[in-house]
């Protein structure tokens, strides 16, 4: 279980779990964007040992599950994520200038 120091931090983790479980993607994105540690939010486990990703999967919140999976993939594959980002940017530029 991830240890988090303050009561406010625990409340943030609980809200992230709730947002994932309820499929509130915009709420989860906000929590993550305001968090100092994405890994702490996504890696934290509730009293049943579940992470936000596990709850999203369990309650069939596919958009939340995919979003968290993408964050984890980018975290675990930074070189490939950067390369993909550049490729997408180049595609957008080509479409803009040559369309």
pLDDT of residue 1: 40
Q: What residue segments make up the domains of the chain, in order of their start?
A: 7-98
Q: Is the pLDDT of residue 98 over 60?
A: no
Runs of H (alpha helix) within 23-61? 25-34, 38-43, 52-58
Q: Check: CB of residue 20 under 8 Å from CB of residue 26.
A: no
Summarize pLDDT for 1-22 with one digit per residue, the tens: 444 455 655 566 789 999 999 9
Rounded Cα–Cα distance for residues 90 and 27 (Å): 30
Q: Is the pLDDT of residue 74 over 60?
A: yes
Neighbours of 29 (CB within 10 A): 14
Rounded Cα–Cα distance for residues 30 and 28 (Å): 5
Decide yes or no: CATH 3.30.420.10 for domain 7-98. no
Q: Is the pLDDT of residue 56 over 60?
A: yes
């Amino acid at each position: 279980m991830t240890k988090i120091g303050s009561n406010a931090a625990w409340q943030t983790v609980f809200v992230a779990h709730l947002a994932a479980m309820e499929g509130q993607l915009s709420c989860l994105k906000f929590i993550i964007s305001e968090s100092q540690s994405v890994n702490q939010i996504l890696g934290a486990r509730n009293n049943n040992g579940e992470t936000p990703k596990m709850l999203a999967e369990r309650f069939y919140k596919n958009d939340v599950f995919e979003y968290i999976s993408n964050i984890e993939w980018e975290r675990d594959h930074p070189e490939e994520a950067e390369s993909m980002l550049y490729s997408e940017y180049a595609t957008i530029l080509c479409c803009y200038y040559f369309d």
